A and B are shown apart, each in its own frame.
Chain A
């Protein structure tokens, strides 16, 4: 349905902009549903457990001893902004799962934040070089409003899947809806398929 009188203000078209998204440019909106926690790196831990061979908890220092990994490219928020040309650094989830191993039943992951926030992902979306635990953006420490000291980082999905203040990954043998997924948002969240809300 065309909207009477609407012509829009198109930005220059770019092939890497998913449908229904716009380029937010240099701004980086903050969207989270809870008070921003003030976590120090001294107290920060990350735990991977559940259907793994060796449940493991890393301290901040221990995470930084793992091989670093970086991502350069865009992020896509379900509220329709995308942000391009970002450089993220942290550790690949592949590296973490390489330490813990996986049990044969493992098929899904629930990311859990230090605030209690949760989000669910198929294991296939956090393995194969597609997901990180990230603590640095464009050469600077990740700010608390954006999920620092560290957040899950899954840039090929809408950004609510990239759980801020990530405390751990619970590897599961079945899928369960996380926080936004219980609250009307899509289970997978592929921006190229516009999987924004339940039913998409």
Chain B
């Protein structure tokens, strides 16, 4: 039918776990930590512990007294180390029905309905070379992968490239810095940053990854399109690139 290299159709061993049916469960908000002016991380304690894979997401469902519901998906930013605990990192969108509620109303001790983990494609198994490229909030699932790599002592396997507008837009700012991480600024850089501000270029891509590395690209559609074009121009096969597109869905 087509002689192009297969892309997402290649089965991944991790899909076995990822395809397990999930059900709604109650989670309790254990901690709330602001990441930036418009991003916050909710640490949730699951009533039914489930092991996730680095890169997977959960759905959060809010229910009003009359039964009206609103659901959105959020990436898990914590490493899959404690099956009873997940961090969901949430960007607030203007007039976001769910993200606004999660930012402004939710308090420690509240219960939320969640379902997951979901997604078996944008996952890093923990033992393969990986180039992680995130734009803005797109760093959230990649942070789970970075945390897992560091926990396993396998930071040598991953390179994380993060693109943000300004220093104030860096998520996980305390934890992010390390030899495997590079932050690129598009509008305003911290004093002393040698890189000229601007969108990512081919020169920002690491040169030390093995040929068999998989790229995980997450962010807005313009960002992910730009990065996947850069990667393919640098010789990476489309079949080695996995994309997660974030957008303002409230």
Chain A residues proximal to chain B, CB less than 8 Å: 1-10, 20, 22, 24, 27, 29-37, 47, 49, 79-81, 112-118, 145, 167-168, 170, 178-180, 182-184, 197-199
Contact = CB atoms under 8 A, between A and B. Distances in A.
A21 to B, nearest CB: 9
B1 A199 contact: no
A34 B238 contact: yes
Given A3-B63, A35-B238, A184 B120 contact: yes
A1 B63 contact: yes
Nearest to B238: A35
A34 B243 contact: yes
B72 A37 contact: no
Interface in B1-24: 1-2, 4-11, 15, 18-23
4 interchain residue pairs of minimum CB distance: A199-B21, A35-B228, A183-B120, A116-B7
A4 B7 contact: no
A12 to B, nearest CB: 13
Interface in B62-96: 62-65, 68-73, 95
B7 A117 contact: yes
A49 B120 CA distance: 29
Given A7-B65, A112-B1, 18 more contacts: A2-B63, A6-B70, A7-B64, A8-B68, A8-B69, A29-B249, A34-B243, A35-B217, A35-B225, A47-B1, A79-B73, A80-B70, A115-B7, A116-B9, A145-B221, A182-B120, A197-B22, A198-B20
A37 B239 CA distance: 11
B242 A184 contact: no
A2 B65 contact: yes
A3 B5 CA distance: 47
Contact of B243 (A8, A33, A49, A180): A33
A15 B240 CA distance: 43
A182 B112 contact: no
A174 to B, nearest CB: 17
Nearest to A119: B9
B167 interface: no
B136 to A, nearest CB: 16
15 contacts: A4-B110, A5-B110, A6-B63, A7-B64, A7-B65, A20-B71, A22-B97, A22-B250, A30-B247, A112-B1, A115-B4, A116-B4, A168-B1, A182-B120, A184-B19
Given A114-B4, A183-B15, A8 B64 contact: yes
A31 B113 CA distance: 24
B47 to A, nearest CB: 11
Nearest to B4: A114
Contacts of B18: 183-184
Contacts of B124: none
Interface in B169-206: none
Interface string B111-134: 111010011111000000000000
B21 A3 contact: no
Given A6-B101, A34-B242, A49 B1 contact: yes
A9 B62 CA distance: 11
B244 interface: yes
B5 to A, nearest CB: 7
Contacts of B7: 34, 113, 115-117
B245 interface: yes
A36 B226 CA distance: 10
A81 B249 CA distance: 8
A118 B6 CA distance: 10
B163 to A, nearest CB: 17
B205 to A, nearest CB: 15
B9 A5 contact: no
Contact of A9 (B9, B97, B122): B97
B161 interface: no
Contacts of B239: 116
A183 B121 contact: yes
